[in-house]
Amino acid sequence: MIRSGRTLTKSAGTASYRWLATAVLRAAAVILLVMTAVFFLIRIVPGDPAKMILGEYSTPEAIARMRHTLGLDLPLWEQFVRFVKTLFTQGDTGNSIIAGTSTRELIAERAPVTLLLIGMACIAAIVIALLLATLAATQKDKLLDHLIRIFPTVTLGMPIFWVGLLLILVFSVRLRWFPVGGIGEGWAGTLHSLALPAITVAFSQIPTLIRSLRVQMLEVLESDFVVTLKAAGIPGRVILFKHVVRNAALPTLMLLGVNISYLIGGTLVVEQVFGIKGIGSLLFTSISNRDFPVIQGIALYCAIGVVIVSLLIEILSWWLDPRTKGTS
């Protein structure tokens, strides 16, 4: 079982609410740590940010001025206070060095496409993984099962950008089913042009999902309640789709919650392959411009997003699973 370490008490309802409170508190603590980490992210690695922004051959005066604008000339604790202050007053990591606008605005502008892409990828991953795992589990030890079991081993080592390239080569260049890159017009165009990138992102999650889902399904298929239903003469397809898949879907959701961070990271890279102007491309532009506040902002928002999404998924599966509610 891919449950988190916390065991939920079956008895009193209050205990599960205590669990909820602990989960929320823990998430809050992690968010605070994430903020601190973002502050130190730029400072622990060797190299002077000011020098990196201006280049190897800039004058010492220019570097000193840049250090001042970035606040790097202040003592570390004061820098941190300033960082936290902007965080809570402005809700971001300061203004972009290049654009001058706040990082929050810059990120908000690019976020919709990325979020849509992530959402589509999640749906694609769950649907494909459920489908393949169901096929594998019901055909256990037959040819199809073996093929699906080999699938994760083969795909584990596939770089996500490379998968994207191959998909472009096959579906866009050869078959012309999808555009090669960019975003189409209108809702239909947008969805159409995001389909291939979404499948690419989903592809990186599917091996892990299939692996655990197949085991999960086999376990459910062997459980007493499936025997009870079979013995009661309920048709196989009803048992499979109404009972087995539902029971296996919950842990899948949990697993996807655990992996959401990888999924977001993959999305940033895949945007680059398909030329999508989302958070990923903002990140790479900022990297080539040495725009530190924006880089920090992206890191911050992504990490907070991960913490919140995994918390929500944990709560959602807790809410969906009657076993956690206790007798009343």
Identify whether the C-beta of residue 130 lies closer than 8 Å to the C-beta of residue 124.
no
Q: Looking at 67-75, 119-127, 159-167, 194-202, which segment touches other proteins (CB under 8 A)?
A: 159-167
CA separation, residue 182 to residues 32, 120, 159, 199, 252 (Å): 36, 16, 21, 15, 31
Question: How does 38-61 read in b/e, with b if 16+ C-beta sit within 10 Å?
Answer: bbeebeeeeeebbbebbeeeeeee
- Binders of other proteins among residues 38 to 77 (CB under 8 A) are 41-42, 45-47, 49, 52
Report the distance separating Cα 271 and Cα 225, nearest Å: 45
20 forms part of the interface with other proteins (CB under 8 A): no
Orientation of helix 160-167 relative to helix 245-274, angle to 10°: 80
Q: Kindly tell me which of 187 and 323 has the beta carbon lying closer to other proteins.
A: 323
User: Judged by CB, which is closer to other proteins: 60, or 174?
Assistant: 174
In the set 56, 61, 185, 224, which binds other proteins (CB under 8 A)?
A: 224
Range 256-275, binding other proteins (CB under 8 A): 261-266, 268-269, 272
> Minimum distance between the CB of residue 186 and other proteins, rounded to whole angstroms?
28
Instruction: For residue 229, give both structure tokens.
Output: 């239903």
Could you tell me which residues come within 8 angstroms of residue 76 by beta carbon, excluding any fewer than 6 positions away? 43
As beta bridge partners, residue 95 has 102
Q: Closest by alpha carbon to 247, among 265, 222, 276?
A: 222
Per CB under 8 A, the list member of 21, 131, 173, 191 interacting with other proteins is 173
Site string (112-141) toward other proteins, x via CB under 8 A: ----------------------------x-
Q: Which two tokens stand for residue 63?
A: 């570097």
Cβ at position 188, least distance to other proteins in Å:
26
Does the footprint of other proteins cover residue 232 (CB under 8 A)?
A: yes
Among the candidate windows 35-43, 109-117, 128-136, 194-202, which touches other proteins by CB under 8 A? 35-43
Q: Which of 21, 25, 28, 29 forms a contact with other proteins (CB under 8 A)?
A: 29
Q: Which of 34, 54, 63, 215 binds other proteins (CB under 8 A)?
A: 34
Contact at 8 Å (CB) between 149 and 214?
A: yes
Q: What minimum distance in Å lies between the beta carbon of 114 and other proteins?
A: 12
Residue closer to other proteins (CB basis): 43 or 191: 43
